[in-house]
Chains A and B, each alone.
Chain A
Amino acid sequence: MMIWSIAWKNLWRNRKRSLVVIVAVTIGIISGVLLVGIMEGWINQRLHDAIYNEVSHVQIHNKEYLKNEEIDLTIKNYDQLTNGIDSLKELAGRVNRTRIFAMANTPWANTGVIIYGVDPEKERQVTEIYKKIVPGGGRYPDKQSPADILISDKTAGLLKLKQYIITDGVIAKLKEERIRADILAKLEKHKDKRFRSPGDFREMLKQEFNKRELDKAGRLITEYALDYRLRNKIQVTFSDLRGTPVQGIFRVCGIYKTTNTGFDQTAVFVNAGELAKLYGGGEILNHEISILLKNIDDAGVVRDKLSRIADGNAVMTWKELAPDAALMHDFMIIYYFIFIGIIMLALAFGIINTMLMSILERTKELGMLMAIGMNRRRIFQMIMLETVFLTLVGAVAGMFSGWIITEILGKTGIHFSGWGEGFEAMGFAAKVYPVVSFGFFVFVTAMVVATAIISSLWPARKALRLNPLEALRTD
């Protein structure tokens, strides 16, 4: 116990030097916690969105459909398979979908899409797309209006269904947001003018406002002036069961936006029954069964169970369907190691330097301790404890501060507005909510202690090699 007490007291001999190292450790740990928090926040968000917006936990398709994606390649033995699915104790919900590749047209543009024929009510039990309707973006499809189509903000842009209008309402909202009067006066000049593309609107803003004004108000003006052309018609064209091109008209009922632009760019949702009228045959085609489980960890088990009764169908888990999310999920621990490893390496150098200086200053005292009977094991223990204390004080302060900062930012979120589009193209939200798990703190603590022990080896070895007699002669 005495050794612990001396080690602790030795830490404060050169208060300023120890504090510099402690502050460095604290800042290092805060950075590590924050970086990993952001990373984990993103990975959790991507995983959640991949499962609840895009692929669920398990999906089933006809094996041939995965290769050719032809309209007639529907799920085999559908009734037998669904009976099997419904009897799963792990099941939280399931939906079946029609999935057809088509061309979508408006009078102004066209783009390729994947039409999902769904039962909107059932779909709500499995996916969260219904929660992703943008402000002013209408509503989720329902059975009362069978010809509805739900498209994404991205698709709306591609089909030129996004326009920008400065109305009295927009100016009033901007006023509420305390946008300066001179900015509002410039906007008045463009009142009720229709800008048919984001590019045109951006061009107008650039001409009217300088960079500072745009930085301050540009985002809000664009957000409020955005007006989706809801109830507009979209014509979709695809091949029916006989291979003959068919066309159908749907009306835009709503605009959604997920964090994955890649998904948004192609996925449109219509009532399965209405879609069936177009391709003929009298019944709804099931190309896809999406299964939501109570627990994500059961995905593998459920896949194995269903594979036994799949009979020509492919059963895939979210890991196969969204490999990017799976990869990130699986590699989280490697990110931890890389981030924290770099921080620990930097800290180790600082700690070794400080401890070596401390040993050099105390050569005579260490010689005296050895002379009066303090053995090498105890000397080693003392130096090691000093190093561990020095590191742990900073680490505890760093972890506590990092935890507080992460808790706050986890509620407010961090908006990477400048890089939003880039992030969303990769499936990440522009606004991230950092989160740090308890496991991470355990991991960091273990790493800090390991770093401290390893860092103490060199200074301790130097102390052990002292000859007591020579050490006593130093000044």
Chain B
Amino acid sequence: MKILELKNVNKIYNSTEVKVHAVNNVSLDFEEAEFAAIVGPSGSGKTTLLNLIGGLDMPTSGEIIIDGTNLAELKPSQLIDFRLNNIGFVFQSYNLVPVLTARENVEFIMTLQKWPKQKKDERTLELLTAVGLGDRINSRPAKLSGGQQQRVAVARALASRPKFVLADEPTANLDSRAATNLLEIMKKLNQEERITFIFSTHDPRVVKMAHRIITLEDGKVVSDDNRE
């Protein structure tokens, strides 16, 4: 089932003296439960593409359709609510709310969505146990290692059962062991929850585990390799 569709998407930056064609005529489809990596050298447009897919930035031309909704047709306030209900985010530098515990960070999105307390508690415990932090639910981010914080971020991203999760260089700040551990957890959740993961990454370990590898160069898709 197609959950995400990019049609002739372009992003051109005019801010400098020269025009930068950061994303150049990209057309891609993503199905349910994909585990896809967008790879390419620095400046190839990976992060820009992820920002466009996540509705954090708008394309200069082309369409991005998520589950039948064209992002360009949404007002800014509707876009925020759309992100809340449909997209999970995992950032390179974890970006947890420092004053909240692991449990509260995971609950946060469900609270914004007004989930009933019992359902919220069950889902939080389920996810934190799944990422191996069942015993650290009341720890604040400052008390957790980088790998643990990123696992909380993954649990948060999955909490509301989004259509897909966007992960921008999720392993960039992690050591090898933590990175492998995180990837295994994400892969497991991808299969269990049937939620699509789309990564931008340089990390060969991520590339190795991905089912689909999209390679970007100068904003263009140069290869789209489906290994399944």
Name A's B-contacting residues (CB within 8 A): 1-2, 5-6, 9-10, 12-13, 364-365, 368-376, 378, 468-469, 472
Q: Which residues of chain B have a CB within 8 Å of any CB of chain A?
A: 51, 54, 56-57, 77, 80-81, 83-85, 88-89, 91, 95, 97-100, 104, 107-109, 111-112, 156
Task: Give A2 to B113 CA distance when docked, in angstroms.
Answer: 12
Complex-state Cα separation, A364 to B97, whole angstroms: 10
List A contacts of B88 (CB < 8 A). 372
Contact B97 A6 (CB under 8 A): yes
A464 CB to closest chain B CB (Å) equals 11
Q: Known contacts A468-B56, A472-B91: does B99 contact A371 (CB below 8 Å)? A: no
In contact, B112 and A364 (Cβ under 8 angstroms): no
- Docked Cα-Cα span, A375 to B79, in Å, equals 9
Q: Determine chain B's interface SS by DSSP, over half rule.
A: helix
- Asked if residues B99 and A469 are in contact (CB atoms below 8 Å), the reply is no
User: Are A371's CB and B108's CB within 8 A?
Assistant: no
- Least CB separation from A469: chain B residue: B56
6 contacts between A and B (CB under 8 A): A2-B108, A12-B99, A365-B98, A372-B88, A372-B109, A468-B56
Query: Could you tell me the distance in whole angstroms from the C-beta of B140 to the nearest C-beta in chain A?
Result: 10
Which one, A1, A9, A375, A468, contacts B81 given CB within 8 A? A375
Q: Do A371 and B81 contact each other (CB < 8 Å), given the known contacts A2-B107, A13-B99?
A: no
- Residue from A2, A371, A374 whose CB has the most chain B CB atoms within 10 Å: A371
| Whole-angstrom distance between the Cβ of B214 and the nearest chain A Cβ | 21
A358 to chain B: closest CB distance in Å?
Answer: 12
Q: Kindly list chain A residues whose C-beta atoms are within 8 Å of the C-beta of B97.
A: 6, 365, 369
Q: Which residues of B contact A469 (CB under 8 A)?
A: 51, 56-57
CB-CB under 8 A from B107, the residues of chain A are: 2
| Given A2-B112, A369-B97, 16 additional A-B pairs, CB 8 A | A2-B107, A2-B108, A6-B97, A10-B99, A365-B95, A371-B56, A371-B89, A372-B109, A372-B156, A374-B112, A376-B77, A469-B56, A469-B57, A472-B56, A472-B91, A472-B95
**Can you list the 7 inter-chain pairs with the closest CB atoms, starting with the nearest?**
A373-B84, A9-B99, A368-B95, A2-B111, A469-B56, A375-B80, A373-B83
The interface residues of chain A lying within 8 Å CB-to-CB of B104 are 2, 5
Interface contacts (Cβ under 8 Å), in number, total: 60
Enumerate chain B residues within 8 angstroms of A6, measured Cβ to Cβ. Answer: 97, 99-100
Bound complex: CA A368 to CA B97 (Å):
9
Contact A372 B56 (CB under 8 A): no
**With known contacts A368-B95, A469-B51, A376–B100 Cβ distance under 8 A:** no
Q: Which residues of B contact A374 (CB under 8 A)?
A: 80, 84, 112
CB distance from B43 to the nearest CB of A (A): 15
Q: Is the CB of A373 within 8 A of B85?
A: yes
Complex-state Cα separation, A188 to B135, whole angstroms:
87
Complex Cα gap A375–B111 (Å): 13
Residues of chain A contacted by B95 (CB below 8 angstroms): 364-365, 368, 472
**CB neighbours of B99 from chain A (8 A):** 6, 9-10, 12-13
Does the CB pair A373–B57 fall under 8 Å?
A: no
Nearest-Cβ distance from residue B30 to partner chain A, whole angstroms = 20
Q: Which residues of B contact A373 (CB under 8 A)?
A: 80-81, 83-85, 109, 112
- Give Cα A2–Cα B106 distance, bound, in whole angstroms: 12
Q: Which of A1, A375, A468, A472 contacts B77 (CB 8 A)?
A: A375
CA distance A371 to B156 in the complex (A): 13
Q: Which residue of A lies closest to B117 (CB)?
A: A1
Task: Please measure, in the bound complex, the distance between the C-alpha atom of A5 and the C-alpha atom of B111, giving whole angstroms.
Answer: 12
Chain B contacts for A365, CB-based, 8 A = 95, 97-98
A468 to B76, CA, bound (A): 11
Residues of A within 8 A of B112 (CB): 2, 373-374, 378
A373 vs B112: C-alpha distance when bound (angstroms): 8
Which residues of A lie under 8 Å from residue B57 when comparing CB positions?
A: 469
Selected contact of B84 from candidates A10, A13, A372, CB within 8 Å: A372
- A372 touching B89 by the CB < 8 A rule? yes
Give the nearest-CB partner of B48 in chain A: A469
Name A13's closest neighbour in chain B (CB-CB).
Answer: B99
